[in-house]
Structure formats: structure tokens, C-alpha cells
């Protein structure tokens, strides 16, 4: 991932990650994926909360939230081995992405990882269909 400043996930980044999984899962020579960040000290901050706070459209929030859930499921159910190389902090949705991976490796240092959604009164739920 390489979306400055903190790899916050918006519709564009989520679509790019989905497209990457589409391509790699159809590549007969690919057996695994390593998901990491090219940014120093941050893996991903999760959903792009500032974008959501400045939007008065609930459909935009719903689309991003659904995109994140779809990515979680896609990664969790992928036939590929998915490894999170966590080279920086991974709060909120960044943490949730790592939990959908088969393996997680975190860099040594003053990085943190964890779910912050309860403090934001958001619920991590998956669609029932």
C-alpha cells in the first residue's frame, strides 16, 4: 500500500486491493500475497475517517464500509496464502485487515495495533447474504 499520509482506505484504495487480489488469484504461478506498506511507520490507519466526516452522504460511508467488509472476506477466503508484513502502526481498519490474513508479522519498534471502532461506536459486522 502506498497512499500518503497513512494508507487510509477510501473507495479507490479498496478497489485497487480488490483488483490486485483478482489478478493474483487468477495467476497460476502465484501461491501467496504479502500485504505491506511502502510508507514509514504505518501499515494502515483504516477507513478514511476525515473524508467521511466531511461528507454529508451516508451512501458514501456505506459504500466504503461495504468495500472494507468485502476486502476482509476476500482476504480471509482467498485460496492464496495471505501474509501481513506489518511494518508500522495498524489501528482500526488497518488492524482488521491484518486479522483477515493467514499470517501476521509485525516490525519491532514503537508501533501499535488494535481496534478503535468501539470508541467510535461503529460495529464491525459482515453482510448476512
Q: What are the tens digits of pLDDT across the range 99-120? A: 999 999 998 888 878 876 555 5
Mean pLDDT of 10-30: 92
pLDDT digits (tens, 9 = 90+) for 28-86: 999 999 999 998 889 888 888 777 777 666 777 777 888 888 888 999 999 999 999 99
Find the angle CA(84)-CA(87)-CA(88) to the nearest 5 degrees: 115
For residue 117, count CB atoms less than 10 angstroms from its CB and return exposed for 0-12, middle for 13-18, buried for 19 or more: middle
Q: Which has more pLDDT, 124 or 111?
A: 111
- DSSP label of 39: S
Q: Cell 476525515 appears where?
A: 50
**Report field, pTM of the whole predicted structure over 0.85:** no
Amino acid at each position: 500500500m502506498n497512499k500518503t499520509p497513512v494508507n487510509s482506505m477510501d473507495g479507490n484504495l479498496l478497489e485497487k486491493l480488490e483488483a490486485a487480489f483478482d489478478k493474483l488469484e487468477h495467476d497460476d504461478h502465484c501461491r501467496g500475497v504479502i500485504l505491506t506498506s511502502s510508507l514509514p511507520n504505518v501499515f494502515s490507519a483504516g477507513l478514511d475517517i476525515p473524508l467521511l466526516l466531511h461528507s454529508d452522504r451516508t451512501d458514501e460511508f456505506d459504500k466504503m464500509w461495504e468495500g472494507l467488509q468485502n476486502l476482509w472476506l476476500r482476504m480471509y477466503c482467498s485460496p492464496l496464502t495471505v501474509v501481513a508484513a506489518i511494518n508500522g502502526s495498524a489501528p482500526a481498519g488497518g488492524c482488521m485487515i491484518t486479522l483477515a490474513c493467514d499470517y501476521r508479522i509485525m516490525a519491532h519498534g514503537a508501533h501499535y495495533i488494535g481496534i478503535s471502532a468501539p470508541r467510535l461506536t461503529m460495529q464491525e459486522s459482515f453482510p448476512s447474504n
